């Protein structure tokens, strides 16, 4: 890892402040003044900033129960974002592992581990996302069959991958999909002649939204939830 990146990720320094600290001689690597921010360091090197030992921080993983009305972005000039609820240190270094529409509620995940989020969200890995979907009209048997076989969305030629549908009530279903196309759930229901009224994400892969979290609340993931080798 670059020395300036280590300093900025493990302290309150920005990248430019880290470079300045290195130039001022405030940073020692193995007891010697560091020369450049681009110098590479490993866990075998002892890095100190004004005498304080600097260690590469461990990756962080959070789940948040997204409320309706906030956007899935790090910042937005005109609306609250999910990061306005995620009050953790260095939150600007986190990114979202998948997004939800502004009016969609439920499970959203944030991390600073890019490889983990890619494995979780890439369609190639086939992780299912489960949604509780309120409908404008009662779901028909034909519509369920179409969703389970895959439907062609408006403006596209390739059908969706087969979904898993559980009918809870005539106008309430659980829908599990393994893709992440734009507004996919809403467009899938339109393709079978229905319309989404409410949309709430309950799970991503084996990670279930903690039922104790009220809208806007969050917690760190457990080691079992982080483990993507689980089915």
Question: Cβ(4)–Cβ(19) under 8 Å?
Answer: yes
Phi-psi category of residue 98: left, alpha or beta, with phi > 0 → left and psi -120 to 50 → alpha? left
Q: What distances in angstroms separate CA 103 from CA 70, 185, 200, 201, one per listed residue?
A: 8, 13, 9, 11
Crossing angle of helices 15-23 and 3-10, in 10° steps, is 120
Phi-psi category of residue 224: left, alpha or beta, with phi > 0 → left and psi -120 to 50 → alpha? alpha
Closest CA to 67 of 181, 173, 200: 200
Catalytic-residue membership of 101: yes
Structure tokens at 137: 């009209």
Q: Which of 26, 39, 101, 210 is catalytic?
A: 101
Structure tokens at 217: 């609340």
Judge residue 99's burial from the number of C-beta atoms within 10 Å of its C-beta, 0-12 exposed, 13-18 middle, 19 or more buried.
middle
What are residue 148's phi and psi, to 5 degrees?
-70, -25
Which residues are known to be catalytic?
Answer: 101
């Amino acid at each position: 890892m670059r020395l300036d990146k280590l300093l900025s990720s493990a302290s309150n320094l920005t990248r430019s402040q880290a470079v300045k600290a290195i130039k001022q001689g405030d940073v020692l690597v193995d007891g010697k003044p560091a020369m450049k921010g681009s110098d590479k360091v490993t866990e075998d090197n002892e890095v100190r900033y004004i005498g304080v030992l600097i260690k590469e921080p461990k990756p962080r993983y959070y789940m948040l129960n997204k409320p309706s009305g906030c956007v899935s972005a790090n910042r937005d000039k005109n609306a609250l974002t999910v990061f306005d609820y995620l009050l953790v240190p260095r939150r600007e270094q986190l990114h979202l592992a998948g997004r939800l529409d502004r009016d969609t509620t439920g499970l959203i995940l944030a991390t600073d581990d890019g490889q983990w989020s890619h494995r979780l969200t890439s369609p190639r890995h086939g992780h299912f996302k489960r949604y509780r979907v309120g409908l404008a009209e009662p779901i028909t048997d034909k519509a369920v069959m179409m969703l389970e076989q895959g439907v062609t969305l408006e403006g596209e030629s390739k059908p969706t991958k087969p979904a898993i549908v559980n009918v809870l009530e005539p106008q309430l279903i659980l829908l599990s999909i393994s893709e992440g196309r734009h507004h996919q759930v809403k467009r899938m229901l339109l393709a079978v002649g229905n319309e989404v009224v409410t949309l709430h994400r309950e799970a991503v892969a084996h990670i279930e939204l903690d039922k104790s979290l009220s809208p806007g609340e969050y917690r760190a993931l457990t080691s079992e939830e982080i483990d993507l080798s689980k089915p």
